[in-house]
Amino acid sequence: MSIASDLRALLGNDSYVIDDPEILISYQRDQAPFAKAEMPAAVLVAKAIDEVSQVMKFAHERGIPVVTRGAGSGLAGGANAIKDSIVISTEKLNRIVSIDPVNQIAVVEAGVINKDLDVAAAEYGLAYYPDPASREWSTIGGNIATNAGGMCCVKYGVTSQHVRAIKVVLADGEVVDFGFPTRKAVTTLDLMRLFVGSEGTLGIIVEATVAVLPRQNRPVTLIATFSKISDATNAAIEMLRLRPSMLEIMDHTTLQAIETWKPMGFADCQALLIMQSDSDASDCERARDIARKHHALEADYSDDPNDSDDLIQVRKLAYPALERMGVALLDDVVVPISEISKLVEGVNRIATESQVTIGIFGHAGDGNIHPTIVYPHNDEAAEKLALKAFNAIIALAQSLGGTASGEHGIGSLKVHQSAAETSPRVLSLQRSIKATLDPRGILNPGKKFNL
């Protein structure tokens, strides 16, 4: 019998087990170019936590690899299938179990879409603040698995700062709760944090209790243009004193890509800075003064909600505009904010040396920058140059005291590069934790850890 047949026998004929090759292909990989993906033996689209538990017990007993998948929006190959593996999709575990406005928490299944939770919380005057660019289709489980960030995290923090508790199916199928719904808890070791950002290598997150905070005022938005990106980065560093709710930067290459697609009037500047404040309109007035101090060509702000939406639209167009130019390989490095200018200078040098186009945009407020390498489709020589540039950017960020990934995860794409910033002792400890929680090594093998 096949693995799919065994799963149907185990779970019953009403289970959603897929083994049709034409459908399996759609569950084979996430959005990461270069990352290896193979054909799984079967996909379980889980409709209940108990199904996940039963399949994990089955896989554990037989040593079958298991890959967990949310919406497949990842950018590091973390959800890519392995040959003859079982892919467990959590997309149908999509109930918002409860929203508690008094304690400001929500209990959600792993497949709940990020934006859907925020919309539901809004009915209580609350908000779910982690806002990855994929928030309209990425899932809470996937966000927790990669510790996703977003534009609002400069003020409100990344996903880990909003997770109170999780329900996890361990490698042997046992269902365990980690964490507490309360704001404080120190009675046990904080094992929950091990699973946040673990990319499905330690267990499968099937439910989470997350903080939903009071919804703030409509933001006031400032946009400033500069003739030098170094002036923009220097202005951004000073604007951080205002505690903005968003602080984003874009370079000339990215702006040109947008102008070619949807002209917005930014063709003549070398850099663009966008700042939002959801606390006080006077913050943007002070930010305008800061921008002008740092030689802004233009700097203005608006407290009109429609204007704010229009002003940040240019940032939302960054990646799709670059993607229109060819294959877009999105990097995700982080440096201390004081080193952003050096990172930008180095990336431009890498672009020249590698003979590839690299657009730079990202979160100036926390140093998480997304250099995006663009190269022609179906061009093997260009692909090799792009991969060389991708690795060089990571090495550059690490040399500046930064890290290989800030919010997209390691997946299979950055396994070897991540080891370069981790001491042998820490690597050994990580391997020991992995071996304790997954003794047969079946959970997302080849991802996250350099084993």
| CB of 159 closer than 8 Å to CB of 141 | no
| Sequence-separated (6 or more) residues with CB below 8 Å from residue 251 | 229, 270, 271, 344, 359, 360, 361
Name the residue among 155, 315, 309, 161 with its Cα closest to residue 244. Answer: 155
Kindly state the average pLDDT of the residues 384-407: 96
Please name each of the domains of the chain with its CATH number.
96-214 (3.30.465.10), 220-399 (3.40.462.10)
Q: Which of 249, 270, 248 is nearest to 259 (CA)?
A: 270
pLDDT of residue 311: 80
Question: What is the pTM for the complete model shown?
Answer: 0.95
341-390: pLDDT as tens digits: 999 999 999 999 999 999 999 999 999 999 999 999 999 999 999 999 99
Give me the mean pLDDT over the 32-53 stretch: 95
pLDDT at 94: 98
Q: Give residue 26's identity as a one-letter amino acid code.
A: S
Which pLDDT does position 154 carry in this prediction? 95
- Cα first-last separation, the chain: 32
The residue type found at 251 is: D
Q: What is the mean pLDDT of the chain?
A: 95
Banded pLDDT at 267 (limits 50, 70, 90): confident
Report in angstroms the alpha-carbon separations of 407 from 58, 142, 338.
32, 11, 19
User: Is the pLDDT confidence value at 1 over 70?
Assistant: no
Residues contacting 172, CB < 8 A, separation 6+: 56, 57, 60
Confidence band for 306, pLDDT divided at 50, 70 and 90: confident
Beta bridge partners of 367: none
The one-letter code for the residue type at 438 is D
- How much is the average pLDDT of 258-282? 92
| Contact (CB, 8 A) for 273 and 300 | no
At 61 the pLDDT is 98
pLDDT at res. 163: 98
* 424 Cβ contact partners less than 8 Å away, ≥ 6 residues apart: none
**What pLDDT, on the 0 to 100 scale, is given for residue 451?**
66
**pLDDT value at residue 371:** 97
What is the DSSP secondary structure assignment for residue 255, as one 8-state letter? Answer: H
The pLDDT assigned to 332 comes to 95
Enumerate the H helices of 221-304 as residue ranges.
229-239, 252-261, 281-293
**What is the predicted pLDDT for the residue at 308?**
79
| Angle made by CA atoms 275, 241, 345, in degrees to the nearest 5 | 65
Give mean pLDDT, residues 93-113.
98
Question: pLDDT tens, 196-207?
Answer: 999 999 999 999
